[in-house]
Structure 1
Amino acid sequence: MISAEQNDLITRVGRGTPAGTLLRKYWQPVALAEELRGPRPLKPVQLMGQHFVLFRDETGRLGLLDRDCPHRGADLAYGRLENGGLRCAFHGWLFDASGQCRETPAEPAGSKLCTRIRQGAYPVLEKSGIVFAYIGEGEPPAFPDFDCFVAPESHTFAFKGLWECNWLQALEVGMDPAHASFLHRFYEDEDTSESYGKQFRGASADSDLAITQVLREYDRPEIRAEAAPYGMRLTTLRTLSPEQTHVRVTNVVFPQAFVIPMSTEMTISQWHVPVDDHHCYWYAIFTSFTGPVDKQQMREQRLKTIDLPDYTSRKNKRNAYGYSVQEQLTRTYTGMGEDINVHDQWACESMGSIQDRTREHLGTTDKGIIMYRRQLVKAIEAAQAGEPVPMQPTPEEAGALTGPPSIDGVAAADKADTYCMDADRVRRQGSDWARERLAAA
């Protein structure tokens, strides 16, 4: 149990807040690359309570500017994309992607005013279908060579969704392995060969055992949490028999991402990004170790439950998340359909827009959450003191941060401790792009 002051410390992310100061030291997802397609590649975005406009100019260069024009404060999200930049519709002032004012057309001929005007501008780059931005002070850290960032474009797929809750309670779901046996419980197992693109619907690696059966029948896992160079590794063990153990390894990448197994061939790298203190987006990159991702199928699956343009869930608090009494009695533990994102969304939003952690009582299975909160508080304190914080790699250090390995499979009981690394090595050896990395390591 923590105090109200401690809860504010780790959840509030506005400009000048301790947690907000920390999170601004990291690259943050701000949009999907697909949101900048079409005749007008411009999108207003909100990140940690700040308002920006993201655009791509005629040359393909990305820009992220403060949304209010520095002239009279008009909204640049309604500006014109032309002449190598973004022109305010109020008086025609033109800004390039660096924030430099290039023209002030209403001023007298020969005016040098534009040379003295700069709009707030921030580094942006595209990685695996997601546009990342850095809105902190100083130089941004290098991107680690994690699988989701180095796999071929054909082998990744990116998507996102909006939740009406604080970023931290959304992130903490990913470091709580025990909930999957309940929140994501299905009373019947599907044909695992039809599970492409669906989490918790396939078979565990090195077996034909449906993951849904494992979660349903073995609901008292042993959970291990250990610090890792990138943040934290969680190992969840379920004893199937004296000879076999189910092993699931997931990772928390500090400060606000996790890497988890999707299936025997895919992993999911997912960020929970604060829009403000009361809303967050999840951004996910699905990475395939085998063939190219069927992006059309993955997108169509997700658009069955997500509405554009804001990527909001069709099942939400306003329609009780599609809850059905009959379904809860016969098909699923929640009665809220088969999309596990909806299950997680309900759990997180039901806590309130900012969870009151003064009322919680953590158990043994919450050891990952406890470890992460300690890491977070320590990093917040370091940022406030001007000291180094975790996961700020140099380019050389970033090149050594591979993986991180994530697996869901069945191991011989006496091989459970080494199963993840062994299975990950085998998977990489069978993958064209990952094999090359394994050989270079």
Structure 2
Amino acid sequence: MISAELNDLMTRVGPGAPAGTLLRRYWQPVALVDELAGPRPVKAVRLLGQDLVLFRDEHGHLGLMDRDCPHRGADLAYGRLEGGGLRCPFHGWLFDKSGQCLETPAEPAGSKLCTRIRQAAYPVVERSGIVFGYLGDGEPPAFPEFDCFVAPDSHTFAFKGLFDCNWLQALEVGIDPAHASYLHRFFQDEDTSESYGKQFRGASADSSMPITQVLREYDRPEIRVHPTDYGMRLTALRQLNDRDMHVRVTNVVFPQAFVIPMSSEMTISQWHVPVDDTSCYWYAIFTSFTGPVDKQQMRAQRLELYELPDYVPRKNRANGYGYDVQEQLTETYTGMGMDINVHDQWAVESQGRIQDRTREHLGTTDKGIIAYRKLLVKAIEDTQAGESAPMLIRADEAANFSGPPSIDGIGLAENPDAYWRDADLERRRKSDWASARLGA
């Protein structure tokens, strides 16, 4: 259990809040690039408790600004895209992507008022189908050369979904390898050849054994936590027999992302991004090491669960997450359907919009969560003291980061670390884009 004060320290993210100040030192996903498609690429966004407007001007340049017009506070999300920027419909004030006011047309001729007006604006970039923004002070850190950022566009797919809860409990479900044997348990195994685009439905690498069978029959994993330069690596080991070990390697990338295996050919890099203190979006980049991603199929699969334009889950608190008692008796452990995103959503939302951690009792399998919280609190305290924090890297350091390796497979029990390292290297050697980087 932890104190209420420490819980607030870790979870509150608004302007001036200690955790919010820390997270503003990093690039944060703002929107999917797809959300700016269409005739009017302007979108209202809320991030870390701030109301912003994201837009693409006539020249194709991205801009991210505070949403309230500095004249009289009207909503710039309804602005007109013209004149090299975004124009407020109230009095015609025009702002470029840097926030500089270019025109105040209702003012007297010759007025210099616009030269003295600047709206708060923030750096913004596109990476692998996601628009990232930087809300902090000073220069933003460099992007590490992780797989999700260096793979060709054809081999990545980005999506997102809304969680009705605080960002930290949403992130912590991914730092908990043990829950998969229960929360994501299926009582029957499906044809693994039909598992494309579905997590925990295919076969483990280097075997024909369905991952659903592994999780169901071997439900007491040994969990190892290893500090890394990017955060931490978690290894979940399930002893299948005297010879074979199921090995699952996942990663926490500080401050709020994890990289996990989706299948033998694909990984997921996922961020949990605060909208405010009580809601967050997950943003994911799916990265393929084999052929191009079937983006149409991946998108269609996910739109069965999420409703546009805000990517709100169709199964949610209001409809009991689709819970069905007969299904819970005969098909799934939760009774909430076959999509594990619904399972995770229920698990984290049912804790409350901000989990009361003064009431929790952690166990041995929560060692990753305990290690992450220590890392988070130290980074918050260091930031408050004006010091550095993990992953605030320079451009000349970006190439020092690769991968990180993320494997789900079956190897010899005698040396699981050697297995996942060899499996990662072999997958890269067989990949057109990843093999080209091995000699770099």
State the TM-score, normalized to the length of structure 1. Answer: 0.99
- The one-letter amino acid of 1:151's match is A
C-alpha separation in 2, matches of 1:282 and 1:239:
32
Aligned pairs for 1:3-14 (under 5 A) are 3-14=3-14
- The one-letter amino acid of 2:408's match is D
Aligned pairs for 1:423-438 (under 5 A) are 423-438=423-438
Report the secondary structure of 1:417's partner residue: helix
C-alpha separation in 2, matches of 1:106 and 1:376:
49
Aligned pairs for 1:102-141 (under 5 A) are 102-141=102-141
Residue 345 of structure 2 is matched in structure 1 by 345
Cα distance, 1:417 vs structure 2: 2.0
Residue 98 in structure 1 maps to residue 117 in structure 2: no
Aligned pairs for 1:281-360 (under 5 A) are 281-360=281-360
Residue 397 of structure 1 is matched in structure 2 by 397
Residue 68 of structure 1 is matched in structure 2 by 68
C-alpha separation in 2, matches of 1:220 and 1:242:
16
Cα distance, 1:81 vs structure 2: 0.4
C-alpha separation in 1, matches of 2:28 and 2:417:
34
Report the secondary structure of 2:414's partner residue: helix
Single out whichever of 416-425 and 401-410 deviates more from structure 2.
Answer: 416-425
Residue 410 in structure 1 maps to residue 410 in structure 2: yes
Aligned pairs for 1:79-90 (under 5 A) are 79-90=79-90
C-alpha separation in 2, matches of 1:393 and 1:421:
25
- The one-letter amino acid of 1:416's match is P
Pairwise CA RMSD: 0.5
Give 5+ residue unaligned stretches, structure 2.
Answer: none
C-alpha separation in 2, matches of 1:39 and 1:161:
24
Per-residue Cα deviation, 1:114-167 (whole angstroms, up to 9, x for no partner): 111100000000000000000001100000000000000000000000010000
Residue 212 of structure 2 is matched in structure 1 by 212
C-alpha separation in 2, matches of 1:44 and 1:215:
41
Give 5+ residue unaligned stretches, structure 1.
Answer: none
Per-residue Cα deviation, 1:343-380 (whole angstroms, up to 9, x for no partner): 00000000000000000000000000000000000000
Residue 47 of structure 2 is matched in structure 1 by 47
Residue 150 of structure 2 is matched in structure 1 by 150
State the TM-score, normalized to the length of structure 2. Answer: 1.00
Report the secondary structure of 2:417's partner residue: coil
- The one-letter amino acid of 2:327's match is E
C-alpha separation in 1, matches of 2:70 and 2:284:
34
- The one-letter amino acid of 2:227's match is A
Per-residue Cα deviation, 1:189-216 (whole angstroms, up to 9, x for no partner): 0100000000000000000000000000
C-alpha separation in 2, matches of 1:413 and 1:224:
15
C-alpha separation in 1, matches of 2:419 and 2:251:
15
Report the secondary structure of 1:368's partner residue: helix
C-alpha separation in 2, matches of 1:54 and 1:226:
38
Residue 270 of structure 2 is matched in structure 1 by 270
Report the secondary structure of 2:213's partner residue: helix
Residue 237 of structure 1 is matched in structure 2 by 237
Residue 31 of structure 2 is matched in structure 1 by 31
- The one-letter amino acid of 1:382's match is D
C-alpha separation in 1, matches of 2:420 and 2:44:
41
Report the secondary structure of 1:141's partner residue: coil
C-alpha separation in 2, matches of 1:417 and 1:390:
25
Cα distance, 1:415 vs structure 2: 2.7
C-alpha separation in 1, matches of 2:126 and 2:415:
40
- The one-letter amino acid of 1:26's match is Y
Residue 186 of structure 1 is matched in structure 2 by 186
C-alpha separation in 2, matches of 1:25 and 1:259:
20
- The one-letter amino acid of 1:323's match is Y
Cα distance, 1:244 vs structure 2: 0.2
- The one-letter amino acid of 1:124's match is V
- The one-letter amino acid of 1:76's match is L
- The one-letter amino acid of 2:49's match is G
Per-residue Cα deviation, 1:250-301 (whole angstroms, up to 9, x for no partner): 0000000000000000000000000000000000000000000000000000
Residue 171 of structure 1 is matched in structure 2 by 171
